[in-house]
């Protein structure tokens, strides 16, 4: 277990958080829930038909005797959630539509978070990203000053911890959106013990090329500096100028970032997704995430190819986000 997760566990000691796991019959989710329950730092809440959840656990030889299992159809506060959902959607959802939506475990689980009955949600082992993110955007919504959510990865190798964003959500962010992603990524870094130094990435360093693409990033850096003047943040940078001190001295000698960046904001989703996968597969870094940023409460999305260990780790991270 990396130092990151030991640090997260230490933060959670005495601050137990409840995390909704909507896919309660999935073996990987059940294994992760068992591990979380045994440690006593995170209270897993499994969703699904109780008989089916218990049968799936029995087949996998997992003890769920003391776990919280909620069947949305049988929840005594179901109609309360219906009323809250209708109010939250403000005319966009009727009572009948709300009842139907809340039979979906992701909508029901998201409403548990919104109503304060849980601290966060982790889904995606079975469901698509859209199935997980859509209820969060409709119900929990983004924080004031954040126009869109974004997805960050913590990249770890030995003692090094880096943050890459956006690698999961926004295809072609505007300068304003990139600036918001930079500020939220710095917050993510801080929450996991990283003192953020943020580089806005491009194929140009400080005007070495001038195109619409590079100017978008340079403008984003200026906006981010205005949004969070306390942050060490600059751009636009090629990756080597942001990461290698010797190259920074040559290409950007007057920048606050001198090859010591640890938070990297990519100009497009295409670049971010390729970048984190290259770093993971060729560089030997462990990629933790995506961690959804900018929401009023933590909701995180798994890959459908995830392992039980992935579910466990992302649950810990989600719990830490709620502190």
Integer Cα distance of 307 and 286 in angstroms: 14
User: pLDDT tier at 255 (50, 70, 90 boundaries)?
Assistant: very high
Instruction: Specify the higher pLDDT residue, 4 or 98.
Output: 98
The pLDDT of residue 4 is above 90 = no
Question: What are the residues facing 287 on neighbouring strands?
Answer: 155
pLDDT at 88: 97
Percent of the chain with pLDDT over 70: 99
- Please list the alpha-helical segments (H only) found in the chain: 3-12, 27-39, 50-59, 78-89, 95-101, 105-114, 129-135, 175-191, 212-227, 239-243, 245-251, 269-281, 308-321
The pLDDT of residue 253 is above 50 = yes
The pLDDT of residue 102 is above 90 = yes
Sign of CA dihedral 170, 175, 179, 180: negative
Question: What are the residues facing 233 on neighbouring strands?
Answer: 198
Chain mean pLDDT for the chain:
95
Q: For the domain 150-286, what is the CATH code?
A: 3.40.50.10750
DSSP summary character for residue 11: H
The 3 state secondary structure assigned to 105-167 is HHHHHHHHHHCCCCCEEEECCCCCHHHHHHHHHHHHCECCCCCCCEEEEEEEECCEEEEEECC
Task: Give the tens place of pLDDT for each residue, 147-185.
Answer: 989 999 999 999 899 999 999 999 999 999 999 999 999
Per-residue pLDDT, averaged over 242-254, amounts to 96
pLDDT at 277: 96
Q: Specify the pTM.
A: 0.88
Q: Which CATH class is domain 3-141+296-321?
A: alpha beta
Same fold, 3-141+296-321 and 150-286: yes
Integer Cα distance of 307 and 300 in angstroms: 15
User: pLDDT tier at 2 (50, 70, 90 boundaries)?
Assistant: low
User: pLDDT tier at 1 (50, 70, 90 boundaries)?
Assistant: very low
Give backbone dihedrals phi and psi of 131, rounded to 5 degrees, phi first. -65, -30
Percent of the chain with pLDDT over 90: 90
User: pLDDT tier at 227 (50, 70, 90 boundaries)?
Assistant: very high
Q: CB within 8 A of 30, min separation 6: which ones? A: 24, 46, 53, 56, 57, 60, 62, 64
* Spans of all domains in the chain: 3-141+296-321, 150-286
pLDDT at 191: 86
Integer Cα distance of 220 and 171 in angstroms: 16
Per-residue pLDDT, averaged over 296-310, amounts to 92
Task: Give the tens place of pLDDT for each residue, 27-59.
Answer: 999 999 999 999 999 999 999 999 999 999 999
Give backbone dihedrals phi and psi of 107, rounded to 5 degrees, phi first. -65, -45
Distances (CA, A) of 21 to 9, 28, 70: 19, 11, 10
Token pair listed for 235 = 């751009």
Token pair listed for 289 = 């995430």
């Amino acid at each position: 277990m990396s130092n990151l997760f030991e640090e997260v566990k230490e933060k959670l000691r005495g601050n137990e958080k409840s995390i909704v796991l909507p896919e309660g019959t999935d073996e990987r989710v059940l294994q992760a829930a068992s591990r979380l329950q045994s440690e006593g730092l995170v209270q897993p809440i499994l969703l699904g038909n109780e008989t089916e959840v218990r049968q799936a656990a029995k087949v996998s030889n997992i003890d769920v005797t003391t776990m919280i299992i909620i069947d949305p159809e049988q929840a005594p506060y179901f109609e309360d959630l219906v009323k809250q959902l209708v109010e939250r959607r403000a005319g966009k959802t009727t009572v009948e539509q709300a009842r139907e939506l809340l039979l979906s475990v992701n909508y029901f689980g998201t409403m548990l978070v919104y109503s304060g009955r849980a601290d966060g949600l982790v889904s995606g082992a079975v469901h698509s990203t859209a199935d997980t993110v859509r209820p969060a955007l409709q119900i929990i919504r983004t924080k004031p000053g954040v126009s869109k959510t974004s997805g960050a990865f913590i990249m770890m190798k030995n003692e090094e911890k880096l943050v890459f964003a956006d690698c999961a959500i926004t295809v072609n962010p505007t300068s304003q959106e990139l600036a918001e992603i930079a500020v939220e990524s710095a917050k993510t870094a801080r929450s996991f013990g990283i003192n953020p130094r943020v580089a806005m990435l491009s194929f140009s360093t400080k005007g070495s090329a001038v195109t619409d693409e590079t100017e978008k990033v340079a403008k984003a850096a200026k906006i981010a500096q205005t949004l969070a003047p306390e942050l060490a943040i600059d751009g636009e940078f090629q990756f080597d100028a942001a990461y290698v001190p010797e190259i920074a001295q040559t290409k950007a000698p007057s920048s606050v970032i001198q090859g010591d960046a640890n938070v990297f904001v990519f100009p497009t989703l295409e670049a971010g997704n390729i970048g984190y996968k290259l770093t993971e597969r060729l560089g030997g870094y462990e990629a933790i995430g995506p961690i959804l940023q900018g929401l009023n409460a933590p909701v995180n999305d798994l890959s459908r190819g995830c392992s039980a260990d992935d579910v466990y780790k992302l649950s810990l991270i989600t719990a830490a986000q709620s502190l």
